[in-house]
Amino acid sequence: MSNIYTLPFDQIGDADIARVGGKCASLGDMTQAGVAVPPGFAVTTDAYLAMLDDTGLRGALETHLKDLDLEDFAAVEAVAQTIQTSFRAHKLPPAVEDAIRAGYANMGADMPVAVRSSATAEDMPDASFAGQQDTYLWVIGADDVIEKTRDCWASLFTARAIAYREKNNIPHIDTLMSVAVQKMVNAKAAGVAMTLDPNTGDRTRIVIDAAWGLGETVVSGTVTPDNFVVEKVLQEILDRNISDKHMELVGDPAQGAAVERAVEPPRNTAPSLTDAEVIAVAMLAKSLERQKKCPQDVEWAFDADLPEGENLLALQSRPETIWSQKAKAKPKNAYATGLMSISNTLTNPYGGKVKTK
């Protein structure tokens, strides 16, 4: 697949990061580091640029976005609607379409895939773009993949995204969009794992949220997930809170979509992961943290179609931002060592519960 418009995950190199956005870059990274990641490819920002330039969309966008009044919600919303419509009114340039068809055909006939946006601005500090663009699950057929790719591009111009960029002085046209097309996981259970405790910043802990089916229910908060706390170094489960997971998101091949399904008792209150699976997820998150050298926020899933031992997949891994920023801002500490320290410790064991002066 030698074209500039698509790039399989296993070929994404460091030089390509600007062309594939944060999400795809991370998937490429993981794939090449030997982490089990569902296969797929990136539709590069070159494809997006071709879309803007070959179809005349760029001119239309520039006109619509000129002199926006952020205070006027209705006007911004109207502009967003117009842009969405004009994206959908244009076919993709033939070379881009061919590249996507070829990339999709490579994955196998009528493979169900997830189509996700991978914006270049996601990596900007404190620009928590994540979640502002679209994700389409269980997409089947090249036509649908192409359509959802275009929808992802269009999602750059929701009223919220436009307003965000205006407010932060980010040029609209310079924010480029790549799209990830990734083999759909037939998730038995899925969720997120953070390599620190989000409540305390405690780096010795890995905190896992898990639910039945696809992990989107966990990310979006539509299901109260099971919560597990794992000691990172000793690799032991410290805590488990099993909740009532009333529904799950599962693929429906007939509809070509992910659908919600009620979870009946007693499965709803049964743990969505075995202890061994909890440890496996924790070790996956830990290895990603070590690989990327900073705390990570990992999306993962157990694939029902894969054999045990090979069924845990990483779907995404991004750096944790909140506590990592705090740690950087923390003043440097000088620590006492030697006898003076021993003397202090004896007088004030456990950080000075007893003051002697």
Partner 1 sequence: MDAKTSMFPSAYELDAPKGAEGWQELYPYYTRFQPSRRGEEDQKFWFCNSQHWPTPFRSFDTIMLDFAIKCLGQYNSRHLLIPPANGIDYRILNGYVYFSPVAVAPEDIEARVPMFMERAGHYFMNWDDLLAKWKVKVKGAIDDLNAIEFKALPETEELEIVTGGVGLDSTNPLFEGYEKAIELCYKIWQYHFEFLNLGYAAYLDFFSFVKEQFPSIPDQAIAKMVQGVDSELFRPDDELKKLAKLALELDVADALSTGDADQALKAVAGVKGGDAWLAAWEKAKDPWFNFTSGNGFYSTDKYWIDHLDIPMGYVRDYIARLKDGDDITRPTEALLKERDRITSEYRDMMDEEAQDAFDAKLGLARTVFPYVEDHNFYIEHWALGTFWRKMRELSALLSDQGFWPEADGMFYLSRTEVRDVLWDYAQAWAIGTEIHGGDIWPAEIERRAGILKALQSEPPIPALNNPPDVITEPFTIMLWGITSEAVESWVAADDAGDELRGMAGSPGVVEGIARVLRSPDELSELKKGEILVTPVTAPSWAPVFGKISAAVTDIGGMMSHAAIVCREYGLPAVTGTGKASAKIKTGMRVRVDGNKGTVEIIG
Give the interface with partner 1 as residue ranges (CB under 8 A): 197, 200, 202-205, 231-234, 236-239, 275, 327, 330, 332-343, 345-351, 353-354, 356-357
Closer to partner 1 by Cβ: residue 8 or 198: 198
Give 321: exposed, middle or buried? Use CB within 10 Å, 0-12, 13-18, 19+: middle
* Min CB(318)–partner 1 separation in Å: 19
Shortest reach from residue 242's CB to partner 1, in Å = 16
Say how many residues make up the chain: 357
> Given the complex with partner 1, which of 231 and 260 has the nearer CB atom?
231
Compare residues 220 and 347 and give the one whose CB is closer to partner 1: 347
The answer to whether the beta carbons of residues 21 and 122 sit under 8 Å apart is yes
DSSP string, 165-202: HHHTT--TTTS-EEEEEEEPP-EEEEEEEESS-TTT--
Q: Is the Cβ of residue 95 or residue 336 nearer to partner 1 in the bound state?
A: 336
DSSP E strand stretches across 245-307: 247-252, 257-262, 296-303
Dihedral over alpha carbons 201, 126, 31, 275 (to 10 degrees): 30
Residue number, 98 or 197, with CB nearest to partner 1: 197
Nearest by Cα to 22 from 323, 313, 296: 296
- Output the smallest distance, CB 137 to partner 1, in A: 36
CB of 294 to partner 1, least distance (A): 11
Minimum distance, C-beta of residue 132 to partner 1, in the bound complex (Å)? 32
**Residue 237 or 259: which CB sits closer to partner 1?**
237
Burial class (CB in 10 A: 0-12, 13-18, 19+), 36: middle
At its nearest, how many Å lie between partner 1 and the CB of residue 175? 35
